[in-house]
Amino acid sequence: MKISVFGSGYVGLVSSACLAQAGHDVLCVDIDKARVEALNQGFNPIYEPGLDEYLKQGLADNTLSFSGCAQTGVEHGEVIFIAVGTPPDEDGSADVRHVLSVARSIGRYLQKPAIIVNKSTVPVGTGSQVQQAVAEELAYRDIKLDFDVVSNPEFLKEGAAINDFMKPDRIVIGTERESSAEQMRRLYSAFNRNHDRVMVMDVRSAELTKYAANAMLATKISFMNEMASIAELVGADIEQVRQGIGSDPRIGYHFIYPGCGYGGSCFPKDVKALAATAASFGRQSSLLNAVEDINAQQKNWLFEAVSGHFDGKLAGKTIAVWGLAFKPRTDDMREAPSIELLNALWQAGAKVQAYDPQAMEECQRIFGEREGLLLAGTKEMALKNADALVICTEWKNFWSPDFSHMACQLNEPVIVDGRNLYEPKTLAAEGFAYYSVGRPSYPAERVPAVLSVAS
């Protein structure tokens, strides 16, 4: 099938590369001419495992190409994907201006019947807006063409997006037309062979499914972080609690890990956007607002822990930071807990020595040549002469360090672990002051007497 994809950002580029792998003839369109030129030469601007290989193979097989011309893109595709950004507006709602701009371009150049697919994460009702925008442009041209607007939300995890696209859990298709559903089934047939993953529903339900999925996952994270806060207060161990509740099949073990808060391009934006959608209909979502509030509080935990260890006297201290990306296997620092930590440390007069396997360039882009920031070449170099280590991201190469070597590199054997990578008793035996989320801290503070008696 001839497929056009408007937008060469994360979703657009991954979708284009994967559809080309299935043998479709894919043209990806972007208004950034320099980006288009670089992509046509095989340069991948996004870090995502496996994407480099798919990009280069698609170009070599002539199943993937890039263009800066909207007219060329519209003329090419029998199925036209919209995969542009929907950044948060001032009130938290999703800004769909870029989506509607693409829709108007499609209406301006459309010459044949087509299926227009919303791949961008958009508020409920955006499909109707896209339909109207295209229809208005066709009416202005005094042309009647049959087209359908389909919702096909993406469910790609950063760091595992290629696998998520090639082996999807579900393929959600929102349309009222059986003919459109069948054409979308044909488009995704290469990814739907093991068992039928296609779920056809109405457009608005498909749009809401994406938001509901991300809101549910964010809720599970904030719930566990709230339980971790309670565990710290009462002297319980949240890791033991996690295993206790995860064994219940109604709950399960997925996404119930406590930590220093969620970040990235999806959860923060989508939770706010869904709450804003509810508010636009006169409903205040207490749950979604609480999920965001808890997450904002949790991002402060890292700084509060390290500041508490030094009795608030951080001026002149040097803090090592392991992990800058919001999660492993990505270089994305959008809404990352590390950003909150770094800004708070600098405000308190501390210096930072940071290391991340992938996000160093992104950190440099965000903060520039900032005084008080040293980007270390290795995780060991970040420790040298630092007064404490703070762990923000659970990269695999942080999991099994040489603790005796770490103690020698640090001025003080202090670890603040925002991802609960280590066993508290093991670290205590190694001579570290160790602080983790929702677990007893070492040196442990005394449990209130009333709880000791009760136990």
Residues catalogued as catalytic: 266
- Say if residues 165 and 191 touch (Cβ distance below 8 Å): yes
Question: For residue 113, is the peptide bond before it cis, meaning its omega torsion is within 30 degrees of 0?
Answer: no
Q: Does residue 137 sit in helix, strand or coil?
A: helix
Q: List all residues 6 or more positions away from 70 whose beta carbon is below 8 Å from its beta carbon.
A: 6, 29, 31, 102, 105, 108, 109
Backbone angles phi, psi at 279, to 5 degrees: -65, -35
CA 449 to chain centre: 43
- Which whole-number Å values give the CA distances from 451 to 54, 195, 227, 233, 241, in the listed order? 58, 53, 18, 11, 17
- Say if residues 355 and 342 touch (Cβ distance below 8 Å): no
- Say if residues 31 and 69 touch (Cβ distance below 8 Å): no
What is the residue whose two structure tokens read 């809101």? 215
- Could you give the CA distance from residue 275 to residue 171 in angstroms, rounded to a whole number? 25
DSSP character for 326?
S
The helix/strand count (H/E) of the chain reads as 19, 14
Question: For residue 424, is the peptide bond before it cis, meaning its omega torsion is within 30 degrees of 0?
Answer: no
- Which whole-number Å values give the CA distances from 248 to 216, 221, 236, in the listed order? 18, 17, 19
Q: What share of the chain is helix, strand, coil (3-state, %, to 5)?
A: 45, 15, 40
Alpha-helical regions (H) of 22-84: 33-40, 51-60, 70-76
- Say if residues 94 and 269 touch (Cβ distance below 8 Å): yes
Q: Report strand pairing: 388-391 vs 373-375.
A: unpaired
